[in-house]
Amino acid sequence: MANLKEVKQRINSVISTQQITKAMKMVSAAKLRRAQDKIVQMRPYSQKLTTILTNVSASAEGAADIVYAQKRDGKKVLLVPVTSDKGLCGAFNTNIIKATNAAIQEQFAGAEISILPLGKKAYEYFKKSSHTVIDTYFGVFQNLTFETVRDAAEFAMNGFVAGDYDQVFLIFNEFKNVATQIVRTEQFLPMAQQETEESNATETDYILEPSRAYIIEELVPTSLKIQFYKAVLESNASEHGARMTAMDKATENAGELLKELKLMYNRTRQAAITNEILEIVAGANALAGK
């Protein structure tokens, strides 16, 4: 059985850890509120922009005229895994890495894979792989703004137009609530079928100035950048939710461990006192026997 000093040191260590996890939970809760507000405000805007794009392009000559909707053979694929810069958020980062590896091995087996990691954890993992890794944009979460994310989106879009990539996929955690994050593998380019050729699109009579072609030319890149930014915001909110949940669970576990350690401390202390009493009684009996 451990002595009193060792148990006391363990108790103090667990108390310190519990204080840290409590503080991290509170920080994550504050960040989550801001991140959740951003994604809640972004979703209606993104959906409305997609609806307008669907209606306008459905009434145009066809999606074949949109360069970002061109279908290709898929021999060159760019994957964009979105993770966090830090750990201590449960399986948040691990799930994205697993999903990316599964996509490489199953969905894109035999294709030439390039990876555009967003988040330090994704970069640190995939830089050790044999795939081509673009290391320019993994620090987007250090200053998360639309302008920062837009640069990464434009890199993927320009690469698709130039023929460097036949397909681009976003792999990220979609935010549902604090305890639930859903891993999504979403096609970014070429544009999804429902966004360009949806036969059931609601017919809306738009007055377009200066021309339909100009509007589509301007609207499509904007819509794609918003879609890209939305995925990053989803991941950002999911990260704080996952970290808040993980730290809450860690705090609870620390509390349970403290109960066990305090019980062990009391038992050890009681045993030590009992031994001291026995030694005193034994000494007194020995003196009495003389």
Which pLDDT score is estimated for 4? 84
Band of the pLDDT at 198, cuts 50, 70, 90? very low
Q: Between residues 101 and 280, which one has the greater pLDDT?
A: 101
- Cβ pair 30, 241 in contact under 8 A: no
Mean pLDDT of 168-183: 93
Residue 76 domain-assigned (yes or no): yes
Asked if residue 134 is part of any domain, the answer here is yes
| pLDDT 10s digits, 70-97 | 888 878 999 999 999 999 999 999 999 9
154 falls within a domain: yes
> Do residues 208 and 56 touch, judged by C-beta distance below 8 A?
yes
Model pLDDT for residues 252-267, shown as the tens digit of each residue: 999 999 999 999 889 8
Q: Is 129 left (phi over 0), alpha (psi -120 to 50) or beta?
A: beta
Choose, from 63, 80, 89, 103, the residue flagged as catalytic. 89
Backbone φ and ψ for 227, nearest 5 degrees, come out as -60, -40
Q: How far apart are CA 36 and CA 30, in angstroms?
A: 10
- Any idea how long the chain is? 290
Span 119-134, pLDDT tens digits = 999 999 999 999 999 9
Within a domain: 264 = no
Instruction: Please give the pLDDT value at position 236.
Output: 95
The pLDDT assigned to 283 comes to 83
Q: Average pLDDT, whole number, for the chain?
A: 87
Tell me if residue 233 is catalytic: no
**Whole-angstrom distance, CA of residue 214 vs CA of residue 198:** 21
Instruction: Mention every residue, 6+ apart, whose C-beta is less than 8 A from residue 46.
Output: 226, 227, 230
Bridge-based pairing state of the strands 180-189 and 167-177: antiparallel
Whether the per-residue pLDDT at 199 is higher than 50: the answer is no
Number of separate domains in the chain: 1
Domain assignment present for 214? yes
Residue 261 inside a domain? The answer is no
Full residue range of the structural domain in which residue 67 is found: 31-246
* Residue 113 forms part of a structural domain: yes
**CATH number of domain containing 52:** 3.40.1380.10
210 — pLDDT class (breaks 50, 70, 90)? confident
Cα angle: 28, vertex 33, 35; to 5 degrees: 90
The pLDDT assigned to 53 comes to 72
Q: ∠ CA 136-141-144 to the nearest 5 degrees?
A: 105
Give the mean pLDDT of 128-142: 93
Quickly list H helices, the chain.
4-58, 92-102, 120-126, 146-162, 193-196, 212-289
- At residue 280 the predicted structure's pLDDT band, cuts being 50, 70 and 90, is confident
pLDDT of residue 197: 43
C-alpha to C-alpha distance for 279 and 165, rounded to whole angstroms: 82
**Model's pTM, two decimal places?**
0.84
- pLDDT tens digits, one per residue of 219-239: 889 889 999 999 999 999 999
Give domain status of residue 278, yes or no. Answer: no
| Mean pLDDT of all residues in 163-178 | 94
The side-by-side arrangement of strands in the sheet containing 180-189 is 132-133, 112-115, 76-81, 167-177, 180-189
